Chain A
């Protein structure tokens, strides 16, 4: 990534976060045309069924449900705690991990199976070159 390109806007925090030139950011997985397995990130062979060259881009939903979580109280220096590490099953397939925000980090408040949505925000940290990153979070979704 050249500095000129970086200056044009935030970089995606992970390769499966897509920032189109126009319109809203979204998450894009890969789906096997043979067995339907969904992946995050590039690949040419399906690790579920072994099919080759049947993997196609697959836009992931921005809604889903909380599968499981942990409330993290001890992390590396500089990481703000506590935070909620969440595994989310997206509607229509695909499972991703991220921070669940806008909820009290308490087992009494967090319900496994609760509806959540994916939101996009500028990450609080920049890289060494000063580039900004766009990241995703989960938040509770009103039904």
Chain B
């Protein structure tokens, strides 16, 4: 089977674009990615589009109505917050299968100021939110973090440091929703949303789009491998049965399984990674995923953040883009945007925030419910 290469990739700046439509946002990213690859829509054999909030709205086809209706196969994917990574993987799979040599992937979302997500219940009887606990995302991920506190004594301050780090990283990312420093006292004294997550420890609801052009080895050679990024592993898992997952969505087991499979597929280990973009939907989540991805031993995630090992310049920089916490989390775009970030470093084109000498990177997203998508990417030239 052919290796698969990222030949072009880009994203629009994450922010709020109320005057524009979902297809328009997706189209802008798609054109940027096509230009980056040096190809046109006429060269593209299939489109894989990820969007969550308009999952029944044929978003991929509507993007082609903006950039060129060539009649190609369009697949629209939705997989909660793993939607973008799922669309990317669908494109990877199609090339692996030998069906196509050049495909386009778009992840797009228009969230606006969506407010609290989750917790809406099933609409039967009386509302359960606030009566039978909370199903809102900040509370769900707070409880997941508290499980780590229970096992290892992880503190509110350690969780807060994740947010300080990622906001600090975003200062050098012009495509981030926010580019502001948030010192520890500011993070810890921000409005408490669901202890231990304050407002600055929750990801930002934004609009955004990111897009990638993927090619087979044959096509990549034809286009020129100079800036190509090899997809060393593409893995998708769902949550296996675990004891408490009916009331406490398990984001750990599916991540651990995906990581094991991805490392095996890529023939690398966590020690080989130069940077990681992982799913920091809440500050608590990032701590869990340090261990789930094998960046440190179980129980050592608190120490990892305390010692600055996941900060830019540290042993294994995590979320140098600013992460979902500061760059923003447009659900369907997130998984493609984090592949953009890692690819940009592997190409040596990340400017001021470049992780020097980056050769191998990993991206990770979680869709609650649950889906985990992991990609391992490698510099070619």
Instruction: Tell me if A68 and B194 are in contact (CB < 8 A).
Output: no
Q: What residues of chain A lie closer than 8 Å to B244, measured between beta carbons? A: 67, 87, 89, 95
**Given the contacts A76-B119, A112-B149, A127-B126, A70 and B142 also touching, CB distance less than 8 Å:** yes
Where chain B touches its partner, the secondary structure class is loop
**Given the contacts A97-B248, A112-B149, A112-B150, A123 and B139 also touching, CB distance less than 8 Å:** no
B197 to chain A: closest residue by CB:
A70
Q: How far is the CA of A113 from the CA of B192 in the complex (A)?
A: 24
Which residues between 73 and 108 of chain A lie within 8 Å of chain B, taking CB atoms? 73-76, 79-81, 83, 85-87, 89, 95-99, 107
**Among the listed B130, B138, B156, B247, which residue makes an inter-chain contact with A76, where contact means beta carbons less than 8 Å apart?**
B130
Q: How far is the CA of A37 from the CA of B128 in the complex (A)?
A: 25
Q: What residues of chain A lie closer than 8 Å to B150, measured between beta carbons? A: 67-68, 112-113
Convert B171-205 into 0s and 1s, putting 1 for each residue whose CB lies closer than 8 angstroms to a CB of A. 00000000000000000000111111100000000
Convert A30-54 into 0s and 1s, putting 1 for each residue whose CB lies closer than 8 angstroms to a CB of B. 0000000101100000011000000
**Among the listed B130, B149, B156, B243, which residue makes an inter-chain contact with A72, where contact means beta carbons less than 8 Å apart?**
B130
Q: How far is the CB of A55 from chain B (nearest CB, A)?
A: 14
**Among the listed B127, B133, B241, which residue makes an inter-chain contact with A87, where contact means beta carbons less than 8 Å apart?**
B133
Interface size class of A (residues with CB under 8 A): 35 or more
Q: How far is the CA of A68 from the CA of B147 in the complex (A)?
A: 6
Q: How far is the CA of A107 from the CA of B149 in the complex (A)?
A: 12
Q: How far is the CA of A135 from the CA of B131 in the complex (A)?
A: 8
Inter-chain pairs besides A47-B241, A70-B196, A73-B192, 15 sampled, C-beta below 8 Å: A14-B125, A67-B150, A67-B244, A67-B248, A68-B248, A70-B134, A70-B139, A71-B194, A73-B191, A73-B194, A76-B129, A87-B247, A89-B244, A97-B248, A107-B196
Interface residues of A (CB under 8 A from B): 11, 13-14, 37, 39-40, 47-48, 67-76, 79-81, 83, 85-87, 89, 95-99, 107, 112-113, 123-127, 133, 135-136
